[in-house]
Chains A and B, each alone.
Chain A
Amino acid sequence: MSTSAAGTVDRRRLPRDWSRAVAWTAGAVILLVVVAAVFAPLLAPHNPNALNLNEAFSAPTARYPLGADASGRDLLSRLLYGARPALLGPTLAVLLATMLGTVVAVASAWFGGLADRVISRLLDLLFAFPPLLLALLVAATFGAGFTTSILAVGIAEVPYIARVIRTEAIRQRKRPYIEGSLVQGLPGVAIIWRHLLPNVAPTVFTQMTLSFGYVIVNLAAVSFLGLGVQAPTADWGSMVSEGQSSLVQGYPQESLYASACIIVVVVAFTVFGDWVAARMEARR
């Protein structure tokens, strides 16, 4: 053990290095998926929508590295292309939810009083509509589709994000440095922009990362029900549901591979998000 400053001693501690290694692995997985999505046309051996009934249900071969589905479409290609909506959808939904959630939460925290109470009530109302249900309702009203599912899931995620941000924003709002700025004569908007938001930002980023995992799951579930990405576009969620009938017949590949993809990505985001959250906590 070495001595740094007088009175301090450096310890090697395994758990700490361990958690960072895990987090970076998760980051690498995410990067891999992003690469797969962006470069799918280059990486996929076949057109994901190319039908070839002769090869239906084929086991993994050189031509079809992961086998084929009920209509003979190459599973590997479909999985690679499926990474696109799997990432694009949640990104848009999370961005939507974060922007709305932050605006609402900060407004609620800043103005307080009646505005806060009304907004809190509205958020409570929104809490009662889980993403899936809202997506169903939206689909019933406006029709199914990728865009509507993103809107529905994004809006349904708002209360979860907003609640955490609001708590943090209120905490910062009450601190003397904000009050000091008021007394200094700084206009409210400037205080929010220059002082409140930067201090709330770490919480916002943490929530965004954590939300990603949940949103991926919700969107995939919506697609599973046939209300999101429409056939024949390759999407992991719809692949799980399309593979349902094959599964019952004894060919579970499509459902299982697609499920595995979803699980891996969500776990990666959760692990990464947890690590980010822990770092933010430690900084405090």
Chain B
Amino acid sequence: MLVAVVKRLTELVATLLVTSLAVFSSLYLVPGSPIAYLTRGRAADAAAIARITAQYHLNEEFFPRYWTFLSGLFHGDLGQSLVYNESTWSLIEPRLTVTLLLIALATLETVAVGVALGAVAALTGKASDMGIVIGSTIGVGIPAFAASAVLLSVFAVNLGWFPVAGNGSGLAGNLDHVVLGSVALAISSAAYMVRLTRSAVREERAKEYVDTANARGLPSGQTVRRHIMRNAAPSILTAGGVTFIGIMASEVVVESAFGINGAGSLLVSSVGAKDFSVVQVLVLMYVAAFMIVNTVIDLVALRVDPRLAIEMATR
């Protein structure tokens, strides 16, 4: 068991390193010289070139540059924005709360609704199963930006229950602005969760150990909780991880639709403005978040199914 945990954590660190390398070096994949890319569309006088060269350590070799980049990360130096005269962190920091709130709320809604409905569909009769399947099939087809348009139009513009754009101030204000967006995100994510949960639970329900439980006279509620759901848990957790990634990615879109000024819209605008240092840091933050969440999920799954420890240890 310990071996599996250690291995998984090492994997996490290794993957983070590789990803940071990938993100870092994507700058160098760009056709043309990095300098030309970095100064495209902006004044390119000698002073600016010198500044950029210094900032990106372009006169050094690749790996020392990478090392400087990495160590900079650890010291909290995330670089300077190329567009604004500020440090990257000062651009990101104020926008984090609203983004985190949006993601957290959407995830909560997705997991609560997704797992519950998925389990209900798999365990109850044909009628409710069919209803839930239909609902989730449609839900999967309602992407976050489309749902945003509808929700915005109905609840914000027409009914006026929620604000149309902006961040709001303070936690309550943020929440108010983020609710519609979280629902927009949750619709297709929850539908996806419903489908995956349903198939995982259905699969377990058909297994032979359920036969044994029935033959021993176990009450069906107990069989479901203690056996079926427990065995389905690793698949459901994995599905949750995938869905979470989807939410994190789509929230960028939702921020754009609802005019929320969060880390997501910063990412989009930085891409447009070619503010590469901001893009780099944000992408790394996103990816790091997914990976940490996935590692946590894997570790939780370990506790549930002891055979996974062997599998993880031998990978």
- Rounded to whole Å, the gap between the CB of B313 and the closest CB of chain A is 13
Q: Are B141 and A270 in contact (CB under 8 A)?
A: yes
Complex Cα distance, B133 from A15, in Å, reads 13
CB < 8 Å neighbour of B15 from A128, A131, A252, A259: A128
A248 at the interface (CB under 8 A from B): yes
Q: Which A residues, 96 to 155, have Cβ-Cβ distances below 8 Å to chain B?
A: 117, 120, 124-125, 127-133, 136-137, 139-142
A213 at the interface (CB under 8 A from B): yes
Q: Are B257 and A136 in contact (CB under 8 A)?
A: no
A247 at the interface (CB under 8 A from B): yes
Q: Are A221 and B253 in contact (CB under 8 A)?
A: yes
Of all chain A residues, the one with the shortest Cβ separation from B288 is A128
Give the segment of A34-42, A84-92, A196-204, A261-269 that binds chain B. Answer: A261-269
Instruction: Report which residue of A117, A133, A142, A243 has the largest number of chain B beta carbons within 10 angstroms of its beta carbon.
Output: A133
A276 at the interface (CB under 8 A from B): no
Number of chain B residues close to chain A: CB under 8 A: 55
Query: Given the complex, which residues of A lie within 8 Å of B249, measured CB to CB?
Result: 130-133
Complex Cα distance, B276 from A260, in Å, reads 35
Q: Are B252 and A136 in contact (CB under 8 A)?
A: yes
Q: Are A130 and B248 in contact (CB under 8 A)?
A: yes
Query: Given the complex, which residues of B lie within 8 Å of A180, measured CB to CB?
Result: none
Q: Which B residues, 123 to 140, have Cβ-Cβ distances below 8 Å to chain A?
A: 126, 130, 137-138, 140
Query: Given the complex, which residues of B lie within 8 Å of A255, measured CB to CB?
Result: 149, 153
Query: Given the complex, which residues of A lie within 8 Å of B126, measured CB to CB?
Result: 15
Complex Cα distance, B146 from A262, in Å, reads 8
Complex Cα distance, B161 from A281, in Å, reads 46
A225 at the interface (CB under 8 A from B): yes
A240 at the interface (CB under 8 A from B): yes
Interface residues of B, dominant DSSP: helix
Query: Given the complex, which residues of B lie within 8 Å of A260, measured CB to CB?
Result: 146
CB < 8 Å neighbour of B145 from A129, A130, A241, A267: A241
Q: Are A132 and B250 in contact (CB under 8 A)?
A: yes
Q: Are A133 and B256 in contact (CB under 8 A)?
A: no
Q: Which A residues, 212 to 258, have Cβ-Cβ distances below 8 Å to chain B?
A: 213, 217, 220-221, 224-227, 237, 240-241, 243-244, 247-248, 250, 252, 255-256, 258
B274 at the interface (CB under 8 A from A): yes
Of all chain A residues, the one with the shortest Cβ separation from B146 is A259
Q: Are B165 and A270 in contact (CB under 8 A)?
A: no
Give the segment of B22-30, B109-117, B214-222 that binds chain A. Answer: B22-30
Query: Given the complex, which residues of A lie within 8 Å of B152, measured CB to CB?
Result: 247-248
Q: Are A263 and B279 in contact (CB under 8 A)?
A: no
Query: Given the complex, which residues of B lie within 8 Å of A252, measured CB to CB?
Result: 149, 153, 157
Complex Cα distance, B22 from A213, in Å, reads 29
Query: Given the complex, which residues of A lie within 8 Å of B104, measured CB to CB?
Result: none
Q: Mark B13-50, 1 if CB is under 8 A from A, else 0.
A: 00100110011001101110000000000000000000
Q: Are A124 and B276 in contact (CB under 8 A)?
A: no
A274 at the interface (CB under 8 A from B): yes
A162 at the interface (CB under 8 A from B): no
Number of chain A residues close to chain B: CB under 8 A: 49
Of all chain A residues, the one with the shortest Cβ separation from B267 is A136
Q: Are B141 and A213 in contact (CB under 8 A)?
A: yes
Q: Are B271 and A139 in contact (CB under 8 A)?
A: yes
Of all chain A residues, the one with the shortest Cβ separation from B287 is A128
Q: Are A270 and B287 in contact (CB under 8 A)?
A: no
A169 at the interface (CB under 8 A from B): no
Query: Given the complex, which residues of A lie within 8 Å of B290, measured CB to CB?
Result: 128, 130
B283 at the interface (CB under 8 A from A): yes
Complex Cα distance, B23 from A247, in Å, reads 37
Q: Are B145 and A226 in contact (CB under 8 A)?
A: no
B286 at the interface (CB under 8 A from A): yes
Complex Cα distance, B119 from A250, in Å, reads 40
Query: Given the complex, which residues of B lie within 8 Å of A130, measured CB to CB?
Result: 245-246, 248-249, 290
Of all chain B residues, the one with the shortest Cβ separation from A217 is B143
A271 at the interface (CB under 8 A from B): yes
Complex Cα distance, B192 from A279, in Å, reads 21
Q: Are A128 and B19 in contact (CB under 8 A)?
A: yes
Of all chain A residues, the one with the shortest Cβ separation from B26 is A141
- Rounded to whole Å, the gap between the CB of B217 and the closest CB of chain A is 32
- Known contacts A128-B245, A132-B249; A243 and B137 CB within 8 A of each other: no
Q: What would be 30 A-B contacts, judged by CB atoms less than 8 Å apart?
A: A125-B18, A125-B19, A128-B245, A128-B290, A130-B246, A136-B271, A137-B279, A137-B283, A140-B26, A140-B274, A140-B276, A141-B29, A217-B141, A217-B143, A221-B143, A224-B145, A224-B257, A237-B145, A240-B146, A241-B257, A244-B257, A247-B153, A252-B149, A255-B153, A256-B150, A259-B145, A260-B146, A263-B146, A267-B141, A270-B141
Residues in chain A within 8 A of chain B (CB atoms):
15, 117, 120, 124-125, 127-133, 136-137, 139-142, 213, 217, 220-221, 224-227, 237, 240-241, 243-244, 247-248, 250, 252, 255-256, 258-260, 262-267, 270-271, 274
Known: A270-B141, A274-B137. 14 other contacts (CB 8 A): A128-B287, A128-B290, A129-B287, A130-B248, A133-B249, A140-B270, A217-B141, A217-B188, A221-B145, A244-B257, A248-B165, A252-B149, A259-B149, A266-B140
